[in-house]
Amino acid sequence: MEKVRVRFAPSPTGYLHIGGAHTALFNWFFTRRNSGVFVLRIEDTDIVRSNEESVKAIIDALEWLGINWDEGPYFQSKRRDLYLGAVKKLLDTGKAYKCYCTQEELKEMREKALKEKTIPKYDGRCRKRKQGNTDKSFVVRFAAPHEGKTEINDLIRGQVIFDNSQLDDLVLLRGDGSPMYNLVVVVDDAEMEINYVIRGDDHLANTPKQILLYEALGYEIPKFAHLPMILGEDKARLSKRHCATSVMAYKEMGYLPQAMVNYLSRLGWSYGDQEIFSVEELIGNFSLDKVGKSAAIFNPEKLLWLNSHYLKTTDEQKMLENILPFLEKKGYERKEFDDRERMFKIIKGLKERCKTIKEMAESAYYFFTDEIKYDDNAVKKWITVQSCSVIRKLITELKNLEEFNVADIEKIFLRTMEEKKLKLVQIAQPVRVGLTGNTVSPGIFEVIEILGRERVLKRLSRVIDLQMTNDKA
């Protein structure tokens, strides 16, 4: 029985794109489902655009998503001798040739093809030229067969047939001696014994060229599966005008990796009506025959909904690990986070009302600083002479409260409601504005307990002073 070997091979020319993460996940699910080997290969032959910062960004994104690899990362820049050896083999067997055409000649070919409304491609003239030694610069081209057809039995798309007469004599080696993409991919996949190539369908046009190279080099051809593209809601290719396209941008916006993995897994892959999946379920249920052929549409609102679900269902300990970097970035004193039980209470109240970790951190500011920003409309509506008389009574009762806990705080409010013939909202909202500066927060009894007696009394006294100042004004 064959051992499944797949690879994820990003180019380190920027961040890990949503589409790249989608491809990585599907490769990873397939590998883990089949107890195979997942290889990470960095395709850094583009010396000008590749950089170490991008390599780190890609690896950080994969690790954030929880994708681990069994081999690698391998770097193509360190495997140059393999590629040059393959080119020599093709030259020696007459399956490649040196092309001495100038840029002017290539431009003429393109213009002629456009004028004649044919496919712009190299016309093969250097196949007939003498291949002897010369000081003239050259590239090495593949002597692609121009007769017959190349068939791909794609595991997602089924049979796809290409007419060889439409294929170009692709460049294998640039004039500066650096190898080209189609060559290095074939050599690497063969040398690494990759037997399943799972990638985006934007690579489909490269596949017949690569199959012909496999055959010319005497390599075993892997099975191919081309995943549907991810598009924006306007059916155009996903770009920054639709949404953030960097995986790590979502981490910075306060998304959980579980939400991103769950969401991307459902783009182009179906499993009944189920929406929420654990990683174990995704691996256990994944198969390529459930991947569709049509492009998937990226819906930011659906991702946000999933993130909200995972915020609610993730335990407080894990959420504390996630929210601390956001809180620390705001510059609050570190001692504010030392009481873990207090932090758990804050998180429990906020995660039910927020959709991202960043929103939680922003909403929690009044727990960590006394510099309260009052909403003018909230103050105007709720901080009145009447409400402040009730707040004065609450200050007295809270000051004398023996046990400062939710249950006893609630009793004070209930007694006040009965005595003053008021509804809870008529008491809770003025207090909420006084403590948080706004009209939205977790339960008011929980907020009072978490803030603690000293902070609560100070803030309620301050809001009375604010009302008196406003009246005088």
* pLDDT score at 471: 64
Number of Cβ atoms within 10 Å of the Cβ of 420: 14
Alpha helices, DSSP H only, in 125-219?
Answer: 181-191, 207-217
Number of Cβ atoms within 10 Å of the Cβ of 231: 19
Cα 181 versus chain centre, distance = 25
Rg of the chain over Cα atoms, rounded to whole angstroms, equals 32
As a residue count, the chain comes to: 473
Binding residues for ATP: 240
* pLDDT score at 134: 64
pTM of the entire predicted model: 0.90
Number of Cβ atoms within 10 Å of the Cβ of 443: 14
Binding residues: 240
- The partner residues of 227 in beta bridges, in order of sequence, read 200
Rounded to whole angstroms, the Cα distance separating 193 from 186 reads: 10
380 is catalytic: no
Rounded to whole angstroms, the Cα distance separating 256 from 259 reads: 5
CA angle (124, 129, 133) in 5-degree steps: 125
Number of Cβ atoms within 10 Å of the Cβ of 65: 22
CA angle (310, 65, 32) in 5-degree steps: 105
Rounded to whole angstroms, the Cα distance separating 416 from 401 reads: 14
Point out the catalytic residue in the list 240, 318, 330, 411: 240
Helix (H, G, I), strand (E, B) or coil at 179: strand
C-alpha to C-alpha distances, 471 to 379, 465, 466, nearest whole angstrom: 12, 10, 9
pLDDT tens, per residue, the chain with 473 residues: 679 999 999 988 888 999 999 999 999 999 999 999 999 999 988 777 778 888 999 999 999 999 999 999 999 999 999 999 999 999 999 999 999 988 888 888 888 878 877 778 888 888 877 766 666 889 999 999 989 999 999 999 999 999 998 898 999 999 888 999 999 999 999 999 999 999 999 999 999 999 999 999 999 999 999 999 998 887 778 777 777 788 999 999 999 999 999 999 999 998 888 899 999 999 999 999 999 999 999 999 999 999 999 999 999 999 999 999 999 999 888 888 989 999 999 999 999 999 999 999 999 999 999 888 899 999 999 999 999 999 999 999 999 999 999 999 999 999 999 999 999 999 999 999 999 999 999 999 999 999 999 999 999 999 898 877 776 65
- Residues 72, 41: contact at Cβ < 8 Å? yes
* pLDDT score at 321: 94
Task: Enumerate domains of the chain plus CATH numbers.
Answer: 5-73+230-301 (3.40.50.620), 79-227 (3.40.50.620), 314-365 (1.10.8), 376-472 (1.10.10.350)
* pLDDT score at 106: 83
- Residues 36, 279: contact at Cβ < 8 Å? no
DSSP code at position 244: -
Residue 205: name the closest of 267, 236, 160 by CA. 160
Rounded to whole angstroms, the Cα distance separating 38 from 296 reads: 25
C-alpha to C-alpha distances, 175 to 79, 102, 103, 141, 170, nearest whole angstrom: 19, 11, 12, 11, 13
Site of tokens 């052929």: 293
* pLDDT score at 107: 85
